[in-house]
């Protein structure tokens, strides 16, 4: 499999999976792990659970207040560094109120602070990375996830990132998504177009 990765163009790629659910082992995580199984062995994977790395409330200091001397620290630093180190960002958030989970949204809000900290060169370093989305809805209609996908896709675009693709599964109780044959099939194919594209 590692050789396949090199041959298919995933060589050197590094995937960061950001788990945004407010529970562990939920459907979204199951789906993300199913997709990740298809990544060749040589492709780096890092998994971070946003609930285990709680971020401080975002303070908008863009106009006036500066960004406070020391720069990001603690969990914020961990997430910033992981984000910058990855070539591919897989945002795995369940659909909460038709959008990303609060933890995921807070992480994205912190991007605004990182953009404002000029010395980080955040935009320059994000440009060219690829964003992917994995979500689960309890609703059967995949279109209900459009606001979540729009949030992520437009944010990627704003940052000069490419859009890799998305998985929208259906289920409510943990494990339900295992019964969604269509999305399980899609999960197995999710990272293949990236491999073919290079
Ligand atoms: C706070 C909250 C808000 C939710 N909002 C929606 C929603 O807007 N639409 C929907 O289809 N499902 C909604 N759900 C259901 C979840 O998307 C569903 O249970 C999903 O399987 C949870 O993902 P997880 O198993 O990865 O945690 C919501 C669940 C919670 C806890």
Where along the chain do its domains lie? 15-52+73-197
First to last CA, the chain: 17
Pinpoint the alpha helices (H) of 9-96: 27-36, 74-85
- The alpha carbon of 118 and the centre of ligand 1 are apart by a number of angstroms equal to 36
Q: What is the pTM of this model?
A: 0.94
pLDDT of residue 4: 39
Question: Which ligand 1 atom minimizes the distance to the CA of 97?
Answer: 8
Q: Which residue's CA is minimally distant from atom 24 of ligand 1?
A: 26
Architecture in CATH for domain 15-52+73-197: 3-Layer(aba) Sandwich (3.40)
DSSP element (H, E) containing 193: helix 192-197
Distance 154 CA to ligand 1 centre (A): 22
Residue 46 has pLDDT above 70, yes or no: yes
Q: 93 CB less than 6 Å from ligand 1?
A: no
Q: How far is the CA of 145 from the centre of ligand 1 (A)?
A: 10
Q: Is 172 in the pocket of ligand 1 (CB under 6 A)?
A: yes
- Mean pLDDT computed over 119-143: 97
Task: Summarize the confidence of residues 150-166 as an average pLDDT.
Answer: 98
pLDDT at res. 65:
63
């Amino acid at each position: 499999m590692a050789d396949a990765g090199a041959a298919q163009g995933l060589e050197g790629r590094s995937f960061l999976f950001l788990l945004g659910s407010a529970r562990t082992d939920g459907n979204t995580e199951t789906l993300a792990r199913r997709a990740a199984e298809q990544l060749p062995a040589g492709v780096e994977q890092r998994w971070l659970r946003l609930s285990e790395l709680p971020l401080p409330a975002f303070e908008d200091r863009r106009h006036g207040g500066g960004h406070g001397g020391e720069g990001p620290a603690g969990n914020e630093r961990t997430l910033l560094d992981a984000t910058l180190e990855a070539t591919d960002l897989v945002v795995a958030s369940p659909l909460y109120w038709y959008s990303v989970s609060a933890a995921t949204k807070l992480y994205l809000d912190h991007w605004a602070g990182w953009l404002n900290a000029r010395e980080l060169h955040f935009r320059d370093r994000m440009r060219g990375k690829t964003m992917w989305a994995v979500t689960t809805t309890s609703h059967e209609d995949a279109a209900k996830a459009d606001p979540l996908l729009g949030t992520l896709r437009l944010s990627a675009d704003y940052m000069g990132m490419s859009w890799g693709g998305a998985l929208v599964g259906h289920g409510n109780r943990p494990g339900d998504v295992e019964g969604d044959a269509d999305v399980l099939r899609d999960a197995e194919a999710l990272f293949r177009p990236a491999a073919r594209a290079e």
